[in-house]
Structures are given as C-alpha cells and as structure tokens.
Amino acid sequence: MPAPVQLPRIPGGEISGEILSVGSAVANWKIGDRVAVQSNLFCGRCEFCLRGQESICLRGKLLGVQEDGGFAEQVGVPATSLVRLPANLDFAASAGRTLAGSTAMHMLTQRASVKPGDWVLAMGGTSGVGSVAIQIAKQLGAHVISTGSTEEKRAFARGLGADHVVDTTKKDWAADVREITGKRGVDLIVEHIGGDVLLQCFNCLARGGTIVTCGATAGREVQLKLWPLFVKEQKLVGSYGRSRADIQAVLEWAAAGKIKAATTEIFSLEKTAEAFAALRGRRVMGKVIVQPN
Ligand SMILES: [Zn+2]
C-alpha cells in the first residue's frame, strides 16, 4: 500500500458471514442474515457516493487495511457496506468472489464494456481477478485469451473457459496474442500486474481498444508511448475496487452457475500464516479461504 498501515491491524477484506448483532439505528438487517461485505468503506454523503461511485469516495477506507478486517471470528462493519448473499451460495463460495470477483465485474461492466464477438485478454488466468474476468468475458460473448506462466496454470485458465492461453515466460508473448487475433489485436485487456506487463499489453491492443487496469504489483511507474495511444484512439482506464452493485452481480452470477468457484484450499483461522505462505509460494491457483470455526 502507498500509505503506511497503522499497527496492530487485523487484515482481510474479502468477507462473508452471518449477522450476530445490529446497531440501534439499523433498519434493513437483522440477526441471522447472511451477508457479504463491501470492503471499500464509503461515507455515503460525498459527491461520488451520491453518484453511486462508492469506490472513489472522498473519505473512502479499505477494510483490513485502515480498519480491522476479516481474519477473525467477528468483525464490525457499517450496515451500509453489507450485501445480501443469494440463498444457495455458501460463505466460502461468496468469500472467494467478493473482492477479486467484484473487481473483475467492475472492470468489465462499469469501467469498460464487452460486446459479443469482442476479443478480450484477461491477464493472469489463475489470479483472483483474471480467473473471474475470463468467465465474465465468456458470459458476455467475447473470444477470450488469457495468460499463464506454466502449463498447469494455462490448463486451469482453459478450464475456466479461455479459448486461448499464451505463455508469459516467452519474451514476446504479445506477438502470440497478435497472431491469435490474425494480427488485429484485442479490444479489451483486463490488466492488474503493471510495470512492463502493462507496456507489453499495448503491443497486442487493437485500434480503438481499451486497457482497464486495477493493479501495479510489477511496477507503478511506466513510460507510455503517447503517439500510438492517440493515433490508434486507444484508452487506458483506471479501475479501483467495486460498488455494492458489482458484488451483488458477481454473487448472483455465481448462484446462477455462471461463475465457477475457483477455491483450491480452505485453511482454519489458526493457519492463516500458512495460507499466506501458499500464496507467496505461488503454489495457489484460484482462491484460498480462511475459515474460522
Ligand atoms: Zn463518499
């Protein structure tokens, strides 16, 4: 995070569970309701909140970063941040989609759009955002290309519905994307890696195409080539978090069987550190769940 995190802090922003108690001013929720939590905490009063753009609230905070989050048996959250779980979706299935899944939903349906027949490149097919982006793009009728650094990861992405998966360990993987699209390039790229990966994305973006990006783990500063950007009328669009509507949409799609679970492992709360070790070791494909008893 660019801002320092005040310690001690309980992390965990991708939460679902059951309501144990409600404040006296809460009218719409009752004890026992099954909910997911919008982790982009928002004020509900600023110019952007009033337009429904919760994720860019002027007083926005991140649950698990600036407020204590979900690696716990209980967590206190504002009632305004709750989203009702569909009846046939369990907590693990919800928690595995609430944050990364809704991020992908926000990127593909709010910050950009997909038409049937479009070419979409979803970066990192085994990542939280990438794995759901593949499925949303397929549901919207796109031809989907994804990426993976091992054959196992590429097979995982194909299993989620990707029509083609390119090997990002090849230096010029963008050439493979151009080749697949008959030299045309893709209409939309769902990017969350940043650095040189973002620059490579421009090498396989079609004229009039859009890159929507929500992450920069591989580098926050890049040198853009402005000439091809405007000559080809391309767009680079930022996307941050989600609104409750995006969470509701991704959970409803999941309940309807349109988005598969990508959960690979469930750890008990006491083994949270092991869950992180599995993520850091890059052994994980899809989502890891921490489940209190
Ligand atoms: Zn606000």
Among candidate residues 169, 170, 171, 231, the one with its CA nearest the CA of residue 205: 231
In the numeric block, which tokens belong to residue 159? 């299993």
The distance from CA 286 to its chain's CA centroid, rounded to whole angstroms, is 11
Residue pair 62/281 in contact (Cβ under 8 Å)? The answer is: no
CA angle 264, 111, 197 (to 5 degrees): 60
- Rounded CA-CA distance 171/203 in Å is 12
CA of 49 to the centre of ligand 1 (A): 4
Helix residue spans in the chain (DSSP H): 47-50, 91-95, 100-105, 128-139, 151-159, 173-180, 195-202, 226-231, 244-255, 272-280
For ligand 1, the distance from its centroid to the CA atom of residue 182, given in whole angstroms, is: 45
Q: Which two tokens stand for residue 193?
A: 């890696």
Residue 3, pLDDT score: 74
Q: Exposed, middle or buried, 108 (CB in 10 Å: 0-12/13-18/19+)?
A: buried
Task: Give residues with Cβ within 8 angstroms of 241, minimum separation 6.
Answer: 39, 40, 54, 55, 103, 106
Separation CA 72–CA 196 (nearest Å): 37
In the prediction, which pLDDT does 15 show?
93
- What gap in Å lies between CA 223 and CA 211, rounded to an integer? 15
CA of 104 to the centre of ligand 1 (A): 22
Q: How far is the CA of 34 from the centre of ligand 1 (A)?
A: 25
Say how many Å lie between the CA of residue 168 and the centre of ligand 1: 39
Task: Provide the 10 A C-beta neighbour count for residue 141.
Answer: 12
Q: Distance from the CA of 143 to the center of ligand 1, in angstroms?
A: 37
**pLDDT of amino acid 282:** 72
Distance 120 CA to ligand 1 centre (A): 32
Question: How close is the Cα of 19 to the center of ligand 1, in Å?
Answer: 24
Cα 291 to Cα 91: distance, rounded to the nearest angstrom: 9
Tell how far the Cα of 76 is from the centroid of ligand 1, in angstroms: 19
Distance 52 CA to ligand 1 centre (A): 9
For ligand 1, the distance from its centroid to the CA atom of residue 63, given in whole angstroms, is 15
pLDDT of residue 285: 73
pLDDT for the residue numbered 261:
72
| Alpha-carbon gap, residue 76 to 56, rounded angstroms | 22
What pLDDT is recorded for position 275?
92
64 CA to middle of ligand 1, Å? 18
57 Cα–ligand 1 center, Å = 4
Question: Within the chain, which residues score under 50 in pLDDT?
Answer: none
pLDDT confidence of residue 95: 86
CA of 208 to the centre of ligand 1 (A): 33
Give the total residue count for the chain: 293
Rounded to the nearest angstrom, the distance between the alpha carbon of 141 and the centre of ligand 1 is 34
Question: How crowded is residue 161: how many other Cβ atoms within 10 Å of its Cβ?
Answer: 18
In whole angstroms, give the CA distance from residue 220 to residue 214: 11
* Span from the CA of 38 to the centroid of ligand 1 (angstroms): 13
Compute, in angstroms, the gap from residue 54 CA to the centroid of ligand 1. 6
